[in-house]
Amino acid sequence: MGNQFLWKDSDGVNRWHDHKQPAKEYPAGVEKDKRCGSNGWATGLKSLGAGVHFSQVKEFRKDAKQHGFTGVEFSNDGECVFTSRGERARYLKHRGLVDRDGGYGD
């Protein structure tokens, strides 16, 4: 017996299937970063603590690029956005910052 997947059919009843649920279609006009789901990293992790003053954004973008950070971006208001846990950990170490609320793998 192969893998079994439980998902709700169009009639509203949960049933076991031998294939994954078809991809969910989003209505036109719904932006990718506005979608909800269990993937917390879908839109990136935003950090005010690792952020900078908005007047320093260009400088810190350049610095991050020079040091090889591909998963670190700064919004125009100075908020730091990480696209992965690994890049977040590397960048925080690079800046001498510590996340006291981070998990075991952080």
Interatomic CA distance for residues 32 and 60, integer angstroms: 26
d(CA 59, CA 11) in angstroms, rounded, equals 54
Q: What is the mean pLDDT of the chain?
A: 80
Q: Is residue 83 part of a domain?
A: yes
Q: Which domain holds residue 53?
A: 41-97
Confidence band of 79 (pLDDT split at 50, 70, 90): very high
- Return the pLDDT at 15: 84
* Inside any domain, residue 22: no
Report the alpha-carbon angle 35-26-75, nearest 5.
35
- Supply φ then ψ for residue 46, to 5 degrees: -95, 135
Over residues 48-66, the pLDDT tens digits come to 889 999 999 999 999 999 9
- pTM for the whole structure: 0.58
Q: Is residue 6 part of a domain?
A: no
Query: SS3 sequence, 10-25?
Result: CCCCEEEECCCCCCCC
Task: Please give the C-alpha separations between residue 80 and each of 55, 65, 68, in angstroms, as whole numbers.
Answer: 14, 14, 16
How does pLDDT run across 16-48, given as a tens digit for each residue?
888 777 766 655 655 554 545 555 566 678 888
Number of domains in the chain: 1
